[in-house]
Chains A and B, each alone.
Chain A
């Protein structure tokens, strides 16, 4: 299984290198106060959403799945390797986010709470999107799943904006959050990534079921 994770890293090393360069550039810009920290975190998470689907597209191009399934691993391990790759990316990004938060807090004496909340929410999204997308990729393939990626990202955003416009959602309710203590807020929000992690586990089981019935 580690070999398959290694394969994803090797195949996407160029893509990841260029993303890393952009991130470093953005971090420098954030340090110089040109860019907002939250923007960088969001950018990284969007990038993470695209990476797994890119991995699927590369595999399809090489017809890799047929070879991977023929290896002495079993289908669930082939699927597991892809999920671990996604999880690994999220953990690395979250770790980078935490380091960034620590640096900005220490050097800029910035307030860490808002940054940590952004990080918790973006990590949750970074886990939830693949949880929906990966089974779709196994079922439909990378190309046919791509529109769903955009739908998953944009439909909820548009929906929230529209509902807010017609006063169905009252954002002033969010002000109540300010009354909560930092500890309660952080505690509550740290549960979000855990919930997303559980969703990823369910998603893995669904993908295993899809591949078990698939013919290569």
Chain B
């Protein structure tokens, strides 16, 4: 089966920022969560995928089509929700259908209206009167109304309350029930990704520093809390990153069980994606 997204050795340089050799694969029926700090390169990667910016090197295919040479074919079955609502304030939801219908072969006006109804969006209300949550729901309705196979979401749940986020995440889980469907979503809200993502790619300073199945990461990575003295006794090869504080130290380990067997006196806990980000972003190598 063709992968929904394949990115090979993607490079893009802005002078002060460089995206280096990004390799990502998104198989059908799954959600890939893209995490990373602000300015790490998540949006740049998504912009390269959507051909909004020119890549310096590498290859990107969407649903088997090259995203530059076969742009129109590649994007025909892609739905996108970017970090903002791009519809003009003076438009109404029903206008959005008139604008987007000619752009997509499989635009389904009834499906669009059904989504508006499902999300409780009045079709005749001006978009400028919408809250941020409503705008994101409108963008999502527009992204789903042409029966896409691939959804690309850049910080789509940012700034939304937990209830709306949960509603949208449920929609995503429903979407990938079809084995041909897949979602790439970047988010700072790592708890959302822990709920729905199958794979996680962590971009740090323009490079993928971690890319694996989410369950593998959460089942194997661990966090050790210890004193500075205990930390000194740990073999540097057994920890990935450490954080030293005035009340104690913490270390990130890759294989929780192996570490627990080797250091039975130390307590190793399950870790979260947020912990891993903090270790990589603020921690140091021992």
Contact = CB atoms under 8 A, between A and B. Distances in A.
A72 B98 contact: no
Nearest to B98: A6
B125 to A, nearest CB: 15
A113 B98 CA distance: 42
A216 B90 CA distance: 23
Interface in A161-175: none
Interface stretch (A59-67, A117-125, A188-196): A59-67
Nearest to B90: A11
B103 A72 contact: yes
Interface in B91-112: 91, 95, 98-104
A7 interface: yes
Contacts of A64: 86-88
B100 A3 contact: yes
A67 to B, nearest CB: 4
Given A10-B99, A11-B88, A70 B76 contact: no
A59 B51 CA distance: 19
Interface in B73-96: 73-76, 78, 80, 82, 84, 86-91, 95
Given A2-B102, A66-B86, A70-B80, A216 B75 contact: no
B103 A63 contact: no
Contact of B98 (A10, A74, A215): A10
Contacts of A104: none
Contact of B47 (A3, A74, A216): A216
Contact of B82 (A14, A59, A66, A215): A66
A14 B126 CA distance: 13
B284 interface: no
> Which of B52, B53, B91 has the most C-beta atoms of chain A within 10 angstroms of its own C-beta?
B52
Contacts of A63: 84, 86
A19 to B, nearest CB: 16
A69 B71 CA distance: 11
A3 B99 contact: yes
A73 B72 contact: yes
Contacts of B80: 70
A62 B86 contact: yes
B50 interface: yes
B52 A3 contact: no
B72 A72 contact: yes
B195 interface: no
A63 B154 CA distance: 15
Contact of B103 (A3, A10, A11, A58): A3
Contacts of B102: 1-3, 6
Contacts of A215: 47, 52-54
Interface in B241-267: none
Contacts of B82: 66-67, 70
B70 to A, nearest CB: 10
Interface in B18-72: 47, 50-54, 71-72
A184 B259 CA distance: 96
A216 B84 CA distance: 14
Contacts of A216: 47, 52-53
Contacts of B74: 72
Contact of B88 (A61, A71, A213): A61
A176 to B, nearest CB: 51
A79 B72 CA distance: 15
B190 to A, nearest CB: 26
B275 to A, nearest CB: 34
A74 B76 CA distance: 11
B98 A73 contact: no
A213 B53 CA distance: 9
A66 B71 contact: no
Contact of A11 (B50, B53, B54, B91): B91
A4 interface: yes
Contacts of B51: 69-70
The 5 closest A-B pairs by CB, nearest first: A67-B86, A72-B75, A3-B102, A216-B52, A215-B53
Interface of B: 47, 50-54, 71-76, 78, 80, 82, 84, 86-91, 95, 98-104
21 contacts: A2-B102, A4-B103, A6-B98, A6-B102, A11-B88, A14-B90, A61-B88, A64-B87, A66-B82, A69-B51, A70-B75, A70-B80, A72-B74, A72-B75, A72-B78, A72-B104, A74-B72, A215-B53, A216-B47, A216-B52, A216-B53
Given A6-B98, A215-B54, 10 more contacts: A6-B102, A61-B88, A66-B82, A70-B50, A70-B52, A72-B74, A72-B75, A73-B72, A215-B53, A216-B52
